[in-house]
Structures are given as structure tokens and as C-alpha cells.
Amino acid sequence: MPIDPSKALGAPIQGGSFRWDRDRVILYHLGIGAGDPPTDPNELAYTYERNLKVLPSFGVIPAFGSLGGVGQVPGLQFNPALLLHGEQDLEIRKPIPVEGEVETRGKVAGIYDKGKAALVVLETETTLKGEAEPLFVNRFSLFLRGEGGFGGESGPPAGNEAPNRAPDGTVESKTLPQQALLYRLSGDKNPLHADPEFAKMGGFDRPILHGLCSFGVVCKAVVDHALGGDTGKVARYQARFAGVVFPGETIVTSFWREGNTILVAAQTKERGTPVITNAAITVRG
């Protein structure tokens, strides 16, 4: 099913409304591994409604439903079993409240030819009800295997390279064997993360962890260990998904401070394979 940029580029994608409360925030935090140890004051700040704070990576959740209509965009038909999440770019304009009601609108912002695959960038703006300025902006980069070769541009080069020196900090985050089953309750019901047979169709011998779950795990590691747990300091979080995590593995996050930017990379402890690369968190001044 060929990609036709002349039809798809700039096309609107399905938006919609979304409401969350403290329970929804806590469920998200549990889905990315918060709450261990359960009586730790910092973990309770993510998992107990008293003094609850919101990780900035939660900003992908209200906008995620906008991706549901991407398969209906003219000129953008593809096999969903061959879709991989390539990159995520999240701008946080204001700290995310523990409760909110928002509207999201989006468009196809970029289409690139990677040869054997197409890279499609979906940009969404999410605004609190009654306000004019976005609360956050997401750019979802979707890697559509088997859909390249249409002759388009290959896209910009990767940035946010980690420096060639020892990291300023390293954090180990152990995932649960059932982590993907827990995370999917935040809205991503792709069977790739639960159904062994569907995972085999996608080329994996068993279900894999959601890329956005790893995205949240790494965000929490940096917020807790480089930003003193201050979730409001994150103005932007960019990441490239470089490899898969199998539920139960340990994600090792390394970070380097460079002015108001924290460069980030993560890999699996058990296999030593990259998980997230070319990542950066911009610190709010």
C-alpha cells in the first residue's frame, strides 16, 4: 500500500477531548514503574493522591487517541502490524495539572522516505478547556515498515548525540514481567504488547514493552536523579526509540548535563542493547 505524500502531508488527523483525574495519573505512573519501594516519599508523590505530582511524560496520554484515525488519512494506508514508534518529541508549555479536561487537534507534519520504510510525523496540540494556548505539543514519529520507496526526502539527521565522556549519572529501572499489560490500561491497546501471536506477526518472539512506556521510565529516572524530583522543570523531552524492551528487563538510563540541556541514553541491562538514543530534556529556566 504505497504512501502518497501529495495527499497525506498536511492532512488533519482525528483529535478529540480527554479528561483525567488523580486516579488516571496514578495508573499511568504505576504503568511506568513508579511505586517501588511503595513507602518511599518520592514514590508516594507519584502514586498517592495527597501531594500528587505529574510526570511530564504523561503529556503523551491525552494526545494518544489522536493516532487512532491515522490509518484513515488519504494516501497513508499501511499494515498496523508493521508499525513501530520511531521518535517522540514532547513540549510542555505549562506544568501538567493532576486533573484536567483538554481538546487535541493534529495534522500530518512530515513524511520521509527511509527506503524500506516510511517515517511519518504527526503533530498534535493539546489545550486545556477554556484556554487558548496549548498545554503541550506532541510530535509522534511513526516508522512504517515496508512503506518506503516513494521517492521522498529521507528526513533530517539525528541530533542530541551523547558526549564522549562518562555520564554524570546512571539509573537502573527494573520493569515488571507484566509491565506492558499494566501500561496498556493508559490507552495503548496495540496487541503487539500483549498478544504473542500478534507479536510474532510483527517479527518478535514475544510481546514487547511499549516505546512510550520506556519513554516514561527514562523520564522518571532523569527527573528523580538529575532534577531533584521537580517535574515542573521539564520544558521539552525528545527521544529516539532505538530498540525494544521485553517486560521484566532492566532499563539503564545514563545522562549528561550540558547547560540547560540534559542529554540522555538508555539500554537494557540484560542484553546491553540500546533502548532510547539521541534523547534530550530541556530544563525550564
* Topology adopted by domain 5-145: Thiol Ester Dehydrase; Chain A (3.10.129)
Percent of the chain having pLDDT more than 90? 79
* 202: its cell numbers: 510483527
- At residue 221, the pLDDT reads 98
| Angle subtended at Cα 168 by Cα 165 and Cα 172, rounded to the nearest 5 degrees | 110
| Residue pair 280/242 in contact by the 8 Å Cβ criterion | no
Q: Where does CATH 3.10.129.10 sit in the chain?
A: 5-145, 169-283
pLDDT per position as a tens digit, 123-166: 999 999 999 999 999 999 999 888 888 887 888 888 899 999 99
Name the band, by pLDDT with cuts 50, 70 and 90, for residue 171: very high
State the amino acid at position 57 in one-letter form.
S
* Mean pLDDT, all residues of the chain: 94
221 SS3 class: helix
Active site residues: 188, 193
Per CATH, domain 169-283 is 3.10.129.10: yes
Name the band, by pLDDT with cuts 50, 70 and 90, for residue 77: confident
pLDDT per position as a tens digit, 12-22: 988 889 999 99
Query: Residue 80: CA atoms inside 13 Å, Cβ hemisphere, count?
Result: 12
Phi, psi at residue 265, to the nearest 5°?
-145, 150
Q: How far is CA 204 from the centre of its chain?
A: 20
**Which residues lie below 8 Å from residue 197, measured CB to CB, with a gap of 6+?**
none
**Which residues lie below 8 Å from residue 154, measured CB to CB, with a gap of 6+?**
112, 113, 114, 115
- At residue 67, the pLDDT reads 80
10 Å CB burial of residue 23 (0-12, 13-18, 19+) is exposed
